[in-house]
C-alpha cells in the first residue's frame, strides 16, 4: 500500500542521485561520507523503492554533497 509521501521520497532519492553524480561520487563513497551503508544509500536513491530518511541523514547527505538541504527538497 503506497504511503502518503511515497512520491516525495522518490523525488528526494532522485535528487540525491543527481547531485551525487554531479559531485563525481559513487554510492559507496557518499555512504561512507554520511556514515550509512551502501545498501541504505542505494535504497534511498532507488525510484522503485521509496525510502524515508531522517532529517539528520538528509542534512548529512547535503553536507557531503556541498549543497543546501533545501536543494534536495525541490521537486521539478
Identify the helix (H) or strand (E) that includes residue 23: none
Instruction: List the one residue out of 20, 63, 23 whose CA is nearest residue 38.
Output: 20
6-73: CATH, from 3.40.1440.60, 3.40.50.620, 1.10.3720.10, 1.10.260.40: 1.10.260.40
User: What's the confidence (pLDDT) of residue 24?
Assistant: 98
Q: Yes or no: say if 30 and 65 are a contact pair by the CB < 8 Å rule.
A: yes
Q: What is the pTM for the complete model shown? A: 0.92
The pLDDT confidence band at residue 50, using thresholds 50, 70 and 90, is confident
Within 8 A by CB and 6+ apart from 1, the residues are none
The ranges assigned to domains in the chain are 6-73
Of 1 and 30, which is predicted with more confidence?
A: 30
The pLDDT confidence band at residue 72, using thresholds 50, 70 and 90, is very high
Q: Yes or no: say if 41 and 30 are a contact pair by the CB < 8 Å rule.
A: yes
Amino acid at each position: 500500500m503506497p504511503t502518503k509521501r511515497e512520491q516525495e521520497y522518490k523525488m528526494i532519492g532522485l535528487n540525491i542521485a543527481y547531485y551525487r553524480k554531479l559531485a563525481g561520487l559513487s554510492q559507496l563513497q557518499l555512504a561512507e561520507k554520511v556514515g550509512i551503508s551502501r545498501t541504505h544509500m542505494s535504497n534511498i536513491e532507488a525510484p522503485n523503492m521509496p525510502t524515508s530518511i531522517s532529517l539528520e541523514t538528509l542534512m548529512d547527505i547535503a553536507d557531503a554533497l556541498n549543497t543546501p538541504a533545501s536543494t534536495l527538497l525541490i521537486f521539478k
